Amino acid sequence: MNEQHEEHSEHSAAPRPEPAAHHSDDAPDTPAAQTPPGPKPEPEPEPGPGPASTVESEHRQDPPEPAQPPAPAGPPQVHHNNVNQYFYGELNASGAQFGLGTAGSDNARRRAVGRLDAGEADAILAPYVKPACFEQAVLALERDAVVVLVGPPGSGKRSGAVALVDALADESEYVVLSPGRSLDDLASGKVAFEKGVGYVLLDRTGEDSSQTADFDWRRVRDTVREHDAHLVVTTVHPVDGAVVESVRHVPWHLPDLTAVLRVRLARAGCAEDTVERAAALMPGGCRIAEVAAAAGRIAGGGAPEEVWQDYGSSAAQPVRAWFLQERTPQEWAEVTTLAFVNGAGYRDFETCQERLEGWVAPAFPEPVTEEEQSAAARRAVDRRLSLSRNALVAVEDRKNGALTRTALVFPHPQYRQWALEELWTKRSTPYWNGVRDWLTELVAAQPGLGLQLSVAQGLALLARPAFDEVADNYLHPWAGGTAGPAGQSTATLVLQCMCLDESLAATALGLARGWARSYDPALRSTAAAAFSGALGVRFPTDAVTNLLRLIVRRGGLPVDAAFALAGLVAVLAECGQDTGAVLRPLAYRLRQQRETLTGQPKENVLGAAMTVLRARDARTGRLVCAALLERDARQTTTIGQVWAGVLDNLPRRGRALAALFATLRELPAVSEHPERPAERFGRALGAALPADDRPPLAGALRQVAARADEAVTHLLEIFLTAVLSTEG
């Protein structure tokens, strides 16, 4: 699919990754490529290397990889990622304090790009307070049609960008573009700007050449002007060493946070004395998202003096006070362990702490005197007593069915972020080398998903003050397989957690895009897994573009990418998001290659399409596409086009017919009136098939369903009548 079509479709709506949604068992399978231990069968067999795709060229091609010998056939299944499933099912986002002001984990369950609907735009614009630099940006946008807002995370650039395009755009329509868009994408027509529409590109991650930056921005400016649109770009850093005169880069600053608080509380109907008390008690050091979150709690009845304890300098003060005292190596290890192993019981926590103490021991002087040695020995024996005296460690009782489980946590969830920032500031490289080796050992031992998620949350929080540390010492090595399969899945979990934070989501996307383009197959495999979860939900166009590239390119791991596409469809459906973000590009590719007789890219795309069509939801066990025919009738036409693409391929037709019958047979389980989706589906498939192919399809499908019961046969005839009666 060309990127212009893909962008607008979006607006309208190692080891391989761990399983998450399984494949239909109704069709016979073919020999599978090699699999990791466990119940994960392959979708279609991974083809050997073929010519690089001409549909979507890469800047550089990977060297060919030898084809893998097939393993014995097993029951056909496609799983979506267990890690992703756990992330959606078990994540307690509030405990990590991600996505303040964005409804916690709901932030990862919605797309970050595409058209802003009226409700989203109103939520941003209604309580908006303009900073002092707003008018300067308006003038620049009015003059050039493009402006760049430069400022640190948490300075309100996102809401400022929407307010700017609202001030000048002719239409009340706003489009958020992917942060991965390059300046060439914006200038060359890969993004189709529309007259009167306001465009926002948040947290742009592209690396500009300082030698050509002004020329590149000039091209973008001219393109946006030509289409009579407006574009606001936000970024953290300007181009290093470059002077950009063609497009104004405006330094962005926080608005008056007291005014932001007053506006939000007044709009919520709070009494004037509540507004004044909340404004007077607001601590320093708050981010704008924290002010919005606090205002929501106060408007909901929270006492201002209690609410403000969780934000800004009020939240940080108890943690900073603890770190100002002289601390023993054991106390350092207690807080470090708690930052990464949060919510564990005493036994697991103490075991992890003891292992950490061994790794970080070189960062502390050896006890010399007998008194120092005795004190160290006593502390080692009295670990639990020491924990009880630590003001940053609390014990929480958690219900587990009829039982109660003890968990070690911070007294307030906000302490975790501040503790990590203090640890990063106060401990030097030898200590962090020990932490790195400890966490790598911990993850490589394949802990449970709960511990993996806790480690991932800690690393995502550490990425705020120390991104390079996290990327270079954890994410990249683990994604490359140095900590085994569990390390790869933990690396994907870190990216999922980063998606909960508006200031880190674009960074997570940039990491995954880099892995997907790597020569290292382990990195590409990890990228595919990451795109099948929250990262794909937040940035579906980028996810599908990268996964399709992995499917059609030489040595691109088509099996892993096919799994990821199936998992992404299932997760998008579970989150109530636009599954067409996957299905539309897949249908487009199938139509585009219909006249191609053979070739590895065609085989890979057909295999991926079959994988997606046969995927089952891991929770319900139902075929995802069958459920979509009932739940989201808008996708029926596209689903029919994908089916037509695979039925058109003679070698796969037998399996495709069996899978098609399985889909029809399952409609009564997902619909109270299965006749309706069956008829819609038949019309859609009939419209997508050549007229000469419809009668043979009907005969072949009746043979597949020869032993079906009366109810299924009745449904099948409704479907086939619709197929055969389609005009054209």
Question: Which range, of 184-188, 296-300, 563-567, averages the lowest pLDDT?
Answer: 184-188
Tokens found for residue 520: 């290292």
pLDDT at 377: 67
Q: For the segment 77-95, what is each residue's pLDDT rounded down to a tens digit? A: 333 355 555 555 444 443 4
First to last CA, the chain: 25
pLDDT at 46: 34
**Rounded CA separation 570/40 (Å):** 16
pLDDT at 210: 59
pLDDT at 255: 92
Tokens found for residue 79: 């799983």
- The model's pTM: 0.82
Beta carbons of 537 and 110 less than 8 angstroms apart: yes
The pLDDT of 29-36, averaged and rounded, is: 31
β-bridge mates for residue 23, sequence order:
615
Report DSSP letters for 314-378, one per residue. Answer: HHHHHHHHHHHS---HHHHHHHHHHHHSTT--HHHHHHHHHHHHHHHGGGSPPP-SHHHHHHHHH
The pLDDT of 20-47, averaged and rounded, is: 35
Instruction: Give the pLDDT band of residue 51 (cuts 50, 70, 90).
Output: very low
Task: Sort residue 162 into left (φ over 0), alpha (ψ -120 to 50) or beta.
Answer: alpha
pLDDT at 13: 34
Q: For the segment 649-689, what is each residue's pLDDT rounded down to a tens digit? A: 888 889 999 999 999 999 999 999 999 999 999 999 999 99
pLDDT exceeds 80 at position 281: yes
pLDDT exceeds 70 at position 190: yes
**Rounded CA separation 397/657 (Å):** 53
Which is more confident, 386 or 103? 386
pLDDT at 91: 45
**Rounded CA separation 711/713 (Å):** 5
Question: Which range, of 547-556, 577-586, 633-642, averages the lowest pLDDT?
Answer: 547-556
Which is more confident, 506 or 12? 506
**Rounded CA separation 22/612 (Å):** 10
pLDDT exceeds 70 at position 23: no
pLDDT at 392: 96
pLDDT at 563: 92
Beta carbons of 264 and 299 less than 8 angstroms apart: yes
Q: For the segment 422-480, what is each residue's pLDDT rounded down to a tens digit? A: 999 999 999 999 999 999 999 999 888 899 999 999 999 999 999 999 999 999 999 99
**Rounded CA separation 565/615 (Å):** 10
**Rounded CA separation 204/224 (Å):** 17
Whole-angstrom Cα Rg for the chain: 28
Task: Sort residue 460 into left (φ over 0), alpha (ψ -120 to 50) or beta.
Answer: alpha
Q: For the segment 516-555, what is each residue's pLDDT rounded down to a tens digit? A: 999 999 999 999 999 999 999 999 999 999 999 999 988 7
Instruction: Give the pLDDT band of residue 706 (cuts 50, 70, 90).
Output: confident
Nearest in space to 461 (alpha carbons), one of 336, 553, 293: 336
Instruction: Give the pLDDT band of residue 107 (cuts 50, 70, 90).
Output: low
pLDDT at 53: 30
Beta carbons of 17 and 563 less than 8 angstroms apart: yes
Give the number of other Cβ atoms within 10 Å of residue 472's Cβ: 12
Quote the percentage of the chain above a pLDDT of 70: 82
Q: For the segment 321-351, what is each residue's pLDDT rounded down to a tens digit? A: 999 999 989 999 999 999 999 999 999 999 9
Which is more confident, 407 or 56? 407
Nearest in space to 410 (alpha carbons), one of 505, 459, 357, 340: 340
Nearest in space to 293 (alpha carbons), one of 133, 506, 502, 508: 502
Mean of all residue pLDDT scores within the chain: 82
The label of the residue with tokens 């940039």 reads 510
pLDDT exceeds 90 at position 5: no
pLDDT at 644: 94
Question: Quick one: 369 exposed, middle or buried, by C-beta within 10 A (0-12, 13-18, 19+)?
Answer: exposed
